[in-house]
Copies of this chain bind each other. A is one copy, B any other.
Amino acid sequence: MIKRRLAAGEVLVGSFAALGSAVAVEALARAGLDFVIVDLEHGAGDESRVLPQLLAAERGGAHALVRVESTARERTTRALDLGAEGIVAPRVDSAAEADAWAAALRYGAAPGARGVALGTRGAGFGLDPDALDRRPLGVVQIESPAAVAACDGIAGVDGVDVLFVGPSDLSYALGCFRAWDHPELRAATARVVAAAHGAGKAAGTFCPTPAQVPAAIDAGFSLIAVGTDVALLVAGGRTIAASI
């Protein structure tokens, strides 16, 4: 369904969940986020905490995505079995890598790589007649110069729905760390967006704060993750500490 909303051109705003807390995720979802990305790459939570967070996001009315720690097949299939609506794959540098990873989004043998176990939560506990045909949202992070160079190929991969620019790693690699307006970063970003759109896919990115969102929309992004729950607490704590 998030797949359909993005395909229809809708702009969605969400955040990363780095605490590993279901309460935090539901609070964010009820506050109005369109999606939450449970972060298993850099978040403090881990796979043992994914399920309650998925439940919490869904109950709060948000799409529940998972950022896996790597493109290893099992990390993606486990998150899908738990019921993630989509997967964010970090550090994808080539179309071949994207293609190999995307197989894990599909059931069965090649081009699928996901075991056909229909009793899982992700398959509706065996009660969903359409389980085999559902396709989760596939999001690929573009966060290196190599990935930018390969972005047209990546965008063409079946199963990849969103090219997601990771601006921290990309800017670091480009030598302009967190200089969000640096021309090289902007050029790379524009190239990724163009590749995504050219292939009929969506583009996504990370904004440190809500202030960057309008510019991200202008730049053509439609899956926009703003900060993390941890960052909201740090910012809030600083304001509290400064009130004295």
**Do A44 and B233 touch (CB < 8 A)?**
no
CB-defined contacts of A116 to chain B, threshold 8 Å: 168-169, 172, 177
A164 within 8 A of B: no
The verdict on A13 contacting B240 (CB below 8 Å), with A51-B23, A74-B69 known, is yes
Instruction: Please tell me which one of the listed residues B119, B237, B243 contacts residue A231 in the complex, with CB atoms under 8 A apart.
Output: B119
Instruction: Give me 4 other A-B pairs in contact (C-beta within 8 A), A20-B21, A42-B119, A232-B237 excluded.
Output: A13-B240, A13-B243, A23-B44, A23-B51
Binding site secondary structure of chain A: helix
A84 within 8 A of B: no
User: Chain B CB within 10 Å — which of A34, A41, A52, A232 has the most?
Assistant: A232
CB-defined contacts of A81 to chain B, threshold 8 Å: 42, 44
The verdict on A52 contacting B22 (CB below 8 Å), with A78-B69, A210-B243 known, is yes
Chain A, interface residues (CB within 8 Å), range: 35 or more
**Do B173 and A120 touch (CB < 8 A)?**
no
The verdict on A30 contacting B226 (CB below 8 Å), with A49-B48, A214-B243, A243-B214 known, is no
CB-defined contacts of A27 to chain B, threshold 8 Å: 125, 230, 233-234, 237
**Do A237 and B48 touch (CB < 8 A)?**
no
Chain A interfacial positions (CB closer than 8 Å to B):
11, 13-15, 18-24, 26-34, 41-42, 44, 46-49, 51-52, 55-56, 58-59, 69-70, 73-74, 78, 81-82, 90-91, 107-109, 115-121, 124-127, 143-144, 168-169, 172-173, 177, 210-211, 213-214, 217, 224, 226-244
Instruction: Please tell me which one of the listed residues B59, B126, B236 contacts residue A236 in the complex, with CB atoms under 8 A apart.
Output: B236
With the chains together, A169 CA to B77 CA distance in Å? Answer: 14
The verdict on A22 contacting B55 (CB below 8 Å), with A32-B237, A120-B42, A172-B116 known, is yes
With the chains together, A41 CA to B18 CA distance in Å? Answer: 25
**Do A121 and B26 touch (CB < 8 A)?**
yes
Instruction: Please tell me which one of the listed residues B32, B42, B211, B237 contacts residue A115 in the complex, with CB atoms under 8 A apart.
Output: B42
User: Chain B CB within 10 Å — which of A73, A78, A230 has the most?
Assistant: A230
**Do A144 and B109 touch (CB < 8 A)?**
yes
The verdict on A47 contacting B46 (CB below 8 Å), with A119-B228, A237-B31 known, is yes
CB-defined contacts of A28 to chain B, threshold 8 Å: 233-234, 236-237, 240
